[in-house]
Structure 1
Amino acid sequence: MSAGLPWDFEPLRTDRLRLRTMTPADLDDVLDYQGRDDVSEFLLHPARTREQVAEAITLCTAHTRLEQDGDWIEPAVELDGRVVGHMYLHLHSVENLGAEIGWTLHPDAQGRGYAREAATALLDLAFGRLGMHRVRAELDPRNDASIALCRRLGMREEARFVRDLREPRAPGGWADTGVWAILDDEWAARRADEKGLGSARRLPA
């Protein structure tokens, strides 16, 4: 097991954001983006109702500890007191020090670098405090915005599984799965490079 596990969630702060546990008080903010068809287009679930969002928040509040395979956290991304999205970190193999990262952001908050800022904080946590060796992202290859973010994070495309997922909203009822990933030493080198170049490397996501 990684020396960084178990780990109980603590809020993470970036220059502009706060990643924290969701609460029932976030319902309206979360519904504002999870209830949109354009947000759910490339997710594993359709747009959610108010009741479904409330259930999802309740589930998220119960997942705050990373210790064994299958454990996950889904922190809210808070900007100026408003939840504008959420992140996802899942331990898929403690033995092999492997994790999965994901993100969802309100369209109004896209294009300003927030997704990259939040993902960077989560990758710093994964490779730093948690001692992960490899972090992957699984996404719909039609999701150009997420692919662009993977590239900005220094992740590489490792696989594409063709029509491996039943998805009624996709053409023909099947969707592909793309796999992107980055290793701990690659992330460390990238972060060292970014710090050396300062704000010149802070590009919007």
Structure 2
Amino acid sequence: MRDIVTDRLIIRRFSEADAAELFEYISNPRANCFMADKVSTLEQAKVMAQKRANDASCVAVCLKETGALIGELMLHQDDEHQADTYSVGWNFNGKFEGKGYASESARALFEHLFTQRDARRLYAYVEDDNFKSQKLCEKLGMRKEACFMEFISFVNNPDGTPKYENTFQYAILKKEWLRRHT
């Protein structure tokens, strides 16, 4: 993917040089779904940065002015039978919250997927207690399509049993996106 540039951001492939800034937000995940990426050392963050650098389904979101990494976007193309469908997601450093960076970058990614990759449908899974991501989905024009009860487990309860999370699915079609943005 070529870099995507917005008014305030650059969305680009990860590099090994992103390790320290990546460490800032993956060392203490704010949503359970990112617990699998949790690291506790800078060395582990370097490994994760390298992994992301070789993974086209994860892109870095950086401030245009300074180049600082502030978060990431995920885009996973479905299998060959639904190759025009992408699962999308985001994870941002809490220090940059409330400035509109998540919506600006996600909007740019959606535009790229719909116009450059000919996506027909985008969807996102959001835990029922992740109100900020739910609000972002709605801001992007996505509709809530489903609530999967006890859908998935990312963490354990204090007794060691899996804590299953209720998860919403949000989605938007290309024709809906184009209607809103033309």
Please report the TM-score for the alignment, with normalisation by the length of structure 1: 0.79
SS at match of 2:81: coil
Q: Distance in 1 between matches of 2:165 and 2:134?
A: 16
C-alpha contact (below 8 Å) 1:74/1:89 kept by paired residues: yes
Deviations 1:76-110 (A, max 9, x none): 11012110000111101443311111101111111
Aligned partner of 2:147 in structure 1 is 160
Structure having the larger proportion of residues in strand: 2
Consecutive aligned runs of 4 or more in structure 1 exceeding 3 Å deviation? 169-172
Aligned partner of 1:180 in structure 2 is 170
How far is 1:44 from its partner?
Answer: 4.7
Identity of aligned residues (%): 28
Q: CA RMSD in A?
A: 1.8
Q: Distance in 2 between matches of 1:170 and 1:94?
A: 37
C-alpha contact (below 8 Å) 2:5/2:11 kept by paired residues: yes
Please report the TM-score for the alignment, with normalisation by the length of structure 2: 0.89
Q: Distance in 2 between matches of 1:137 and 1:40?
A: 14
5+ residue gaps, structure 2, are none
Residue 84 in structure 1 maps to residue 70 in structure 2? yes
Alignment equivalent of 2:81, drawn from 95, 100, 117 = 95
5+ residue gaps, structure 1, are 1-8, 65-72, 193-205
Aligned AA for 1:88?
M
C-alpha contact (below 8 Å) 2:19/2:48 kept by paired residues: no
Aligned partner of 2:34 in structure 1 is 43
Mapping for residues 12-161 of structure 1, pairs under 5 Å: 12-37=4-29, 39-45=30-36, 47-49=38-40, 50-64=42-56, 73-79=57-63, 80-96=66-82, 97-161=84-148
